[in-house]
Amino acid sequence: MLESEEILHTESEKKMPDMRLDGLESIYWPHTESGLMDIHNFPVVIYVTDGLKSNK
Amino acid sequence: MIRQPMEVGAVWFHYEPESTVTSHAGVTATTFQGTTSVITARGQYQLEGTRWHLLAKVFSNMASYKADLQSEILIQEVFDNNPKHRSFSWQVLRRAMNIFGAKTYIGETSLTTPHFFLYARRGDKVTWGMLEESHMIVNWSGLDSLEQANIIPTLLSTDNRIVLTHPLSPDKTITPPFSAVAQKILYTKGNANR
Protein backbone atom coordinates (compact mmCIF):
# COMPACT_ATOMS: atom_id res chain seq x y z
CA MET A 1 0.00 0.00 0.00
CA LEU A 2 1.27 3.45 -0.87
CA GLU A 3 0.65 4.91 2.52
CA SER A 4 3.81 3.57 4.14
CA GLU A 5 6.10 6.10 5.76
CA GLU A 6 8.93 5.08 3.48
CA ILE A 7 7.04 5.99 0.32
CA LEU A 8 5.57 9.12 1.84
CA HIS A 9 9.05 10.46 2.51
CA THR A 10 10.81 9.26 -0.62
CA GLU A 11 12.64 11.79 -2.77
CA SER A 12 12.18 9.67 -5.88
CA GLU A 13 10.12 11.14 -8.68
CA LYS A 14 8.88 7.68 -9.51
CA LYS A 15 5.29 7.18 -8.48
CA MET A 16 4.09 3.71 -7.69
CA PRO A 17 1.03 2.70 -9.67
CA ASP A 18 -2.05 2.81 -7.48
CA MET A 19 -5.10 1.91 -9.52
CA ARG A 20 -8.28 1.55 -7.52
CA LEU A 21 -11.86 1.39 -8.69
CA ASP A 22 -13.71 3.02 -5.79
CA GLY A 23 -15.98 6.00 -6.41
CA LEU A 24 -14.89 8.24 -9.27
CA GLU A 25 -11.79 6.13 -9.84
CA SER A 26 -13.99 3.71 -11.75
CA ILE A 27 -14.59 6.55 -14.23
CA TYR A 28 -11.03 7.84 -14.30
CA TRP A 29 -8.82 4.78 -14.72
CA PRO A 30 -10.53 3.04 -17.66
CA HIS A 31 -9.72 6.06 -19.86
CA THR A 32 -6.04 6.37 -19.00
CA GLU A 33 -3.48 4.90 -21.37
CA SER A 34 -3.15 1.80 -19.22
CA GLY A 35 -6.87 1.70 -18.60
CA LEU A 36 -7.63 1.63 -22.32
CA MET A 37 -5.62 -1.58 -22.40
CA ASP A 38 -7.76 -2.90 -19.55
CA ILE A 39 -4.70 -3.26 -17.33
CA HIS A 40 -6.77 -2.84 -14.16
CA ASN A 41 -8.66 -6.00 -15.03
CA PHE A 42 -5.57 -7.88 -16.20
CA PRO A 43 -4.31 -10.15 -13.40
CA VAL A 44 -0.61 -9.31 -13.55
CA VAL A 45 1.97 -7.46 -11.53
CA ILE A 46 2.27 -3.84 -12.72
CA TYR A 47 5.85 -2.61 -12.76
CA VAL A 48 5.37 0.68 -14.58
CA THR A 49 2.65 2.91 -15.96
CA ASP A 50 2.80 5.91 -18.22
CA GLY A 51 4.16 9.20 -16.98
CA LEU A 52 7.13 7.91 -15.00
CA LYS A 53 10.01 10.41 -14.91
CA SER A 54 12.55 8.40 -12.99
CA ASN A 55 14.20 5.02 -13.32
CA LYS A 56 15.18 4.87 -9.64
CA MET B 1 15.28 -3.72 -15.79
CA ILE B 2 12.94 -5.99 -13.88
CA ARG B 3 14.74 -7.82 -11.12
CA GLN B 4 13.65 -11.37 -10.42
CA PRO B 5 11.22 -11.49 -13.33
CA MET B 6 8.49 -14.05 -13.26
CA GLU B 7 9.05 -17.11 -15.39
CA VAL B 8 5.79 -16.62 -17.23
CA GLY B 9 4.43 -13.32 -18.43
CA ALA B 10 2.69 -11.51 -21.21
CA VAL B 11 3.21 -8.32 -23.14
CA TRP B 12 0.14 -6.62 -24.47
CA PHE B 13 0.67 -4.30 -27.43
CA HIS B 14 -1.99 -1.71 -28.17
CA TYR B 15 -0.99 -0.38 -31.56
CA GLU B 16 -4.14 0.90 -33.24
CA PRO B 17 -4.29 4.70 -32.98
CA GLU B 18 -7.58 5.91 -31.65
CA SER B 19 -8.88 9.35 -32.57
CA THR B 20 -12.42 10.04 -31.60
CA VAL B 21 -14.67 13.05 -31.51
CA THR B 22 -15.41 13.56 -27.86
CA SER B 23 -17.27 16.87 -28.01
CA HIS B 24 -19.53 17.38 -25.04
CA ALA B 25 -22.16 19.86 -23.94
CA GLY B 26 -21.34 22.33 -26.70
CA VAL B 27 -17.56 22.12 -26.31
CA THR B 28 -15.65 20.82 -29.33
CA ALA B 29 -13.09 18.19 -28.39
CA THR B 30 -11.10 15.43 -30.04
CA THR B 31 -9.25 12.71 -28.20
CA PHE B 32 -6.20 11.09 -29.78
CA GLN B 33 -3.89 8.63 -28.06
CA GLY B 34 -4.97 9.61 -24.59
CA THR B 35 -4.81 13.37 -25.09
CA THR B 36 -7.88 15.53 -25.60
CA SER B 37 -7.75 18.77 -27.58
CA VAL B 38 -10.44 21.19 -26.53
CA ILE B 39 -11.48 24.21 -28.57
CA THR B 40 -12.66 27.17 -26.53
CA ALA B 41 -13.25 30.85 -27.20
CA ARG B 42 -9.80 31.52 -25.70
CA GLY B 43 -8.06 29.02 -27.93
CA GLN B 44 -7.10 25.36 -27.96
CA TYR B 45 -6.11 23.48 -24.85
CA GLN B 46 -4.90 19.97 -24.29
CA LEU B 47 -5.60 17.82 -21.29
CA GLU B 48 -5.50 14.18 -20.38
CA GLY B 49 -8.19 12.28 -22.20
CA THR B 50 -9.29 10.61 -19.02
CA ARG B 51 -9.62 14.00 -17.28
CA TRP B 52 -11.89 15.18 -20.07
CA HIS B 53 -13.92 12.00 -19.74
CA LEU B 54 -14.16 12.50 -15.98
CA LEU B 55 -15.35 16.10 -16.29
CA ALA B 56 -17.98 15.09 -18.82
CA LYS B 57 -19.32 12.62 -16.26
CA VAL B 58 -19.08 14.55 -13.03
CA PHE B 59 -19.45 18.29 -13.66
CA SER B 60 -22.40 19.15 -11.48
CA ASN B 61 -24.28 21.32 -13.95
CA MET B 62 -24.30 20.20 -17.57
CA ALA B 63 -26.33 23.24 -18.60
CA SER B 64 -23.40 25.48 -17.72
CA TYR B 65 -20.69 23.01 -18.67
CA LYS B 66 -19.12 25.21 -21.32
CA ALA B 67 -19.02 28.30 -19.11
CA ASP B 68 -17.81 26.32 -16.11
CA LEU B 69 -15.00 24.78 -18.14
CA GLN B 70 -13.81 28.17 -19.34
CA SER B 71 -14.00 29.52 -15.82
CA GLU B 72 -11.89 26.61 -14.56
CA ILE B 73 -9.32 27.22 -17.30
CA LEU B 74 -9.05 30.87 -16.29
CA ILE B 75 -8.50 29.95 -12.64
CA GLN B 76 -5.95 27.33 -13.62
CA GLU B 77 -4.01 29.89 -15.61
CA VAL B 78 -3.89 32.10 -12.51
CA PHE B 79 -2.59 29.14 -10.50
CA ASP B 80 0.01 28.35 -13.14
CA ASN B 81 1.31 31.91 -12.96
CA ASN B 82 1.47 31.92 -9.16
CA PRO B 83 4.86 30.56 -8.02
CA LYS B 84 3.48 29.90 -4.54
CA HIS B 85 0.72 27.60 -5.74
CA ARG B 86 1.36 23.90 -5.34
CA SER B 87 -0.52 20.74 -6.15
CA PHE B 88 0.29 18.12 -3.56
CA SER B 89 1.26 14.63 -4.61
CA TRP B 90 -1.31 11.87 -4.75
CA GLN B 91 0.49 10.00 -1.96
CA VAL B 92 0.15 12.95 0.39
CA LEU B 93 -3.47 13.57 -0.53
CA ARG B 94 -4.46 9.92 -0.24
CA ARG B 95 -2.83 9.74 3.17
CA ALA B 96 -4.48 12.95 4.37
CA MET B 97 -7.93 11.93 3.17
CA ASN B 98 -7.69 8.48 4.70
CA ILE B 99 -6.84 9.70 8.19
CA PHE B 100 -10.37 10.97 8.74
CA GLY B 101 -12.16 9.62 5.71
CA ALA B 102 -12.36 13.02 4.05
CA LYS B 103 -14.27 13.01 0.77
CA THR B 104 -14.12 16.68 -0.20
CA TYR B 105 -11.21 18.65 -1.61
CA ILE B 106 -10.87 22.42 -1.80
CA GLY B 107 -8.07 24.38 -3.41
CA GLU B 108 -7.57 23.29 -6.99
CA THR B 109 -9.55 23.45 -10.18
CA SER B 110 -11.43 20.56 -11.72
CA LEU B 111 -8.53 20.24 -14.14
CA THR B 112 -6.14 19.08 -11.43
CA THR B 113 -8.25 17.93 -8.47
CA PRO B 114 -7.44 14.23 -7.98
CA HIS B 115 -10.10 11.85 -9.13
CA PHE B 116 -10.18 10.00 -5.82
CA PHE B 117 -12.11 12.79 -4.11
CA LEU B 118 -15.85 12.23 -4.33
CA TYR B 119 -16.58 15.93 -3.90
CA ALA B 120 -14.72 19.03 -5.07
CA ARG B 121 -15.63 22.65 -4.49
CA ARG B 122 -14.44 26.23 -4.37
CA GLY B 123 -15.99 28.12 -1.48
CA ASP B 124 -19.69 27.30 -1.59
CA LYS B 125 -19.62 26.44 -5.30
CA VAL B 126 -19.68 22.77 -6.15
CA THR B 127 -17.17 21.67 -8.76
CA TRP B 128 -18.36 18.10 -8.69
CA GLY B 129 -20.34 15.94 -6.32
CA MET B 130 -22.30 17.76 -3.67
CA LEU B 131 -21.85 20.14 -0.77
CA GLU B 132 -21.19 18.27 2.41
CA GLU B 133 -19.65 19.48 5.63
CA SER B 134 -17.83 16.47 7.02
CA HIS B 135 -14.03 16.25 6.98
CA MET B 136 -12.43 17.91 4.00
CA ILE B 137 -8.98 18.65 2.66
CA VAL B 138 -8.03 22.28 2.09
CA ASN B 139 -5.06 23.23 -0.09
CA TRP B 140 -4.27 26.60 1.44
CA SER B 141 -2.13 27.76 -1.48
CA GLY B 142 -5.06 27.18 -3.82
CA LEU B 143 -7.28 29.76 -2.15
CA ASP B 144 -7.15 33.38 -3.18
CA SER B 145 -7.06 36.08 -0.51
CA LEU B 146 -10.85 36.43 -0.43
CA GLU B 147 -11.37 32.68 -0.16
CA GLN B 148 -8.79 32.50 2.61
CA ALA B 149 -10.55 35.29 4.48
CA ASN B 150 -13.90 33.56 4.07
CA ILE B 151 -12.71 30.22 5.38
CA ILE B 152 -10.82 31.53 8.41
CA PRO B 153 -13.89 31.67 10.71
CA THR B 154 -14.63 28.06 9.81
CA LEU B 155 -11.07 27.00 10.56
CA LEU B 156 -11.29 28.63 13.97
CA SER B 157 -14.66 27.16 14.89
CA THR B 158 -14.60 23.61 13.54
CA ASP B 159 -12.32 20.62 13.78
CA ASN B 160 -13.06 18.89 10.52
CA ARG B 161 -10.78 20.75 8.13
CA ILE B 162 -7.44 19.21 7.18
CA VAL B 163 -5.28 22.07 5.91
CA LEU B 164 -2.28 21.36 3.72
CA THR B 165 0.41 24.03 3.74
CA HIS B 166 4.08 24.23 2.93
CA PRO B 167 6.75 24.33 5.60
CA LEU B 168 6.43 27.50 7.58
CA SER B 169 8.38 30.43 6.24
CA PRO B 170 10.27 32.63 8.71
CA ASP B 171 7.56 35.28 8.62
CA LYS B 172 4.80 32.63 8.73
CA THR B 173 2.76 34.72 6.34
CA ILE B 174 1.26 31.72 4.59
CA THR B 175 0.17 30.07 7.79
CA PRO B 176 -3.60 29.93 8.16
CA PRO B 177 -4.90 30.63 11.65
CA PHE B 178 -5.60 27.38 13.47
CA SER B 179 -7.82 26.84 16.45
CA ALA B 180 -6.24 26.05 19.80
CA VAL B 181 -7.02 22.35 19.46
CA ALA B 182 -5.56 21.97 15.96
CA GLN B 183 -2.95 19.26 15.56
CA LYS B 184 -0.26 18.51 13.04
CA ILE B 185 -1.23 15.10 11.70
CA LEU B 186 1.03 14.67 8.70
CA TYR B 187 4.49 15.77 7.75
CA THR B 188 6.42 14.72 4.71
CA LYS B 189 9.99 15.50 3.84
CA GLY B 190 9.78 13.73 0.50
CA ASN B 191 8.61 14.88 -2.88
CA ALA B 192 5.23 16.19 -1.79
CA ASN B 193 4.28 18.02 -4.97
CA ARG B 194 2.96 17.09 -8.35
Q: Look up the domain containing B62 and give its range.
A: 19-80
Instruction: Say yes or no: B131 and B61 in one domain.
Output: no
Chain A contacts of B10, Cβ < 8 Å? 44
Instruction: Say yes or no: B55 and B148 in one domain.
Output: no
How close B95 comes to chain A (CA, Å)? 6
Contacts (Cβ under 8 Å, ≥6 apart) of B38:
B27, B28, B29, B44, B45, B46, B47, B52, B69
Q: How many domains does chain B have?
A: 2
Give me the mean pLDDT over the B114-134 stretch.
Answer: 89
Instruction: Say yes or no: B139 and B166 in one domain.
Output: yes
For residue B173, name the pLDDT band (cuts at 50, 70, 90).
low
Instruction: Say yes or no: B36 and B94 in one domain.
Output: no
Domain coordinates in residue numbering, chain A? 1-56
Name the burial class of residue B148, with classes exposed (0-12), middle (13-18) and buried (19+) by CB atoms within 10 angstroms of its CB. middle
Please tell me which residue of chain B has the smallest CA distance to A48: B2
- Residue B111 in any domain: the answer is yes
Instruction: Say yes or no: B155 and B186 in one domain.
Output: yes
The residue from B80, B96, B115 where one domain ends is B80
- Residue B154 in any domain: the answer is yes
pTM of the model: 0.79
The residue ranking higher by pLDDT, B17 or B62, is B62
Interval B5-60: pLDDT, tens: 667 777 666 566 667 889 999 999 999 888 999 999 889 999 999 999 999 998 86
How large is the ipTM? 0.76
The residue from B43, B63, B80 where one domain ends is B80
- Residue B36 in any domain: the answer is yes
Q: B58 at the A interface (CB within 8 A)?
A: yes
Name the burial class of residue B36, with classes exposed (0-12), middle (13-18) and buried (19+) by CB atoms within 10 angstroms of its CB. buried
Instruction: Say yes or no: B61 and B117 in one domain.
Output: no
The pLDDT, as a whole number, for residue B160 is 87
pLDDT of A15 over the 90 cut? no
Interface touch B2/A47, C-beta < 8 Å: yes
Give me the mean pLDDT over the B93-99 stretch.
Answer: 87
- Residue B10 in any domain: the answer is no
Instruction: Say yes or no: B47 and B76 in one domain.
Output: yes
